[in-house]
């Protein structure tokens, strides 16, 4: 049980940090599109700012999404053990995509800059898939009857 908790917390951390970095990158890309140079020091400051200000809210969203997605993936893996290595990354991807779609439906504007393009949504979803891969690296699948 402790290993599952550590796996989930680590997956949340991975999805949060990766998502925050994607968010920062898209903000910097938007600034670059208006031909405003951004010094390396300012870029790093934005990454740090987003890790402090954007990441906590994103962490809550990822924690809730993965708290739902991983048990579903585990349940499916019980019936399809060979798919285990694919199901958890897909669950992480689905958690991010679902969160973005719910926010898009509930809010009048897309508040996450990265989610305003297909590439941004894809990269955020890839962060969720990475979280699922990290989870299965920490919590290896055991078929019924194994110790």
Higher pLDDT, 118 or 146: 118
Q: Specify the pLDDT at position 143.
A: 59
Report whether pLDDT(20) > 80: yes
Q: Which of 23-37, 69-83, 125-139 has the lowest mean pLDDT?
A: 23-37
Query: What's the pLDDT tens digit per position in 91-128?
Result: 999 999 999 999 999 988 888 888 999 999 999 999 99
In total, the chain counts a number of residues equal to 147
Beta strands in the chain (DSSP E): none
- Rounded to the nearest integer, the mean pLDDT of the chain is 92
In this prediction, residue 81 has a pLDDT band, given cuts at 50, 70 and 90, of confident
Four-residue CA torsion sign, 120, 125, 128, 132: negative
The residue-averaged pLDDT of 73-80 equals 92
Residues 6+ apart with CB under 8 A from 20: 47, 50, 51, 54, 55, 58
Q: How far apart are CA 96 and CA 14, in angstroms?
A: 12
- In the chain, helix, strand, coil percent, each to 5? 85, 0, 15
The 10 Å CB-count burial string (b at 16+, else e) for 33-61 is eeeeeeeeeeeeebbeebbeebbeebbeb
Residue 144 reports pLDDT greater than 80? no
* pLDDT given for residue 95 in this prediction: 98
pLDDT at 142: 67
Each residue of 48-76: pLDDT tens digit? 999 999 999 999 999 999 999 999 999 99
Domain ranges in the chain are: 2-138
Does the structure show a pLDDT above 70 at 24?
yes
Measured in degrees and rounded to the nearest 5, phi and psi for residue 89 equal -60, -40
Q: Is the pLDDT of residue 40 over 70?
A: yes
| DSSP 8-state symbol, 34 | T
């Amino acid at each position: 049980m402790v290993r599952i908790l550590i796996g989930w917390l680590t997956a949340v951390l991975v999805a949060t940090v990766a998502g925050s970095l994607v968010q920062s990158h898209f903000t910097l890309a938007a600034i670059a599109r208006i031909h405003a140079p951004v010094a390396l020091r300012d870029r790093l400051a934005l990454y740090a700012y987003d890790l402090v200000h954007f990441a906590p809210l994103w962490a809550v969203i990822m924690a809730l999404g993965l708290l739902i997605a991983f048990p579903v993936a585990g349940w499916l893996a019980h019936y399809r053990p060979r798919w285990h290595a694919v199901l958890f990354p897909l669950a992480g991807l689905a958690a991010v995509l679902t969160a973005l779609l719910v926010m898009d439906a509930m809010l009048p504007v897309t508040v996450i800059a990265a989610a305003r393009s297909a590439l941004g949504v894809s990269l955020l979803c890839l962060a969720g898939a990475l979280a699922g891969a990290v989870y299965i690296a920490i919590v290896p699948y055991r078929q019924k009857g194994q110790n």
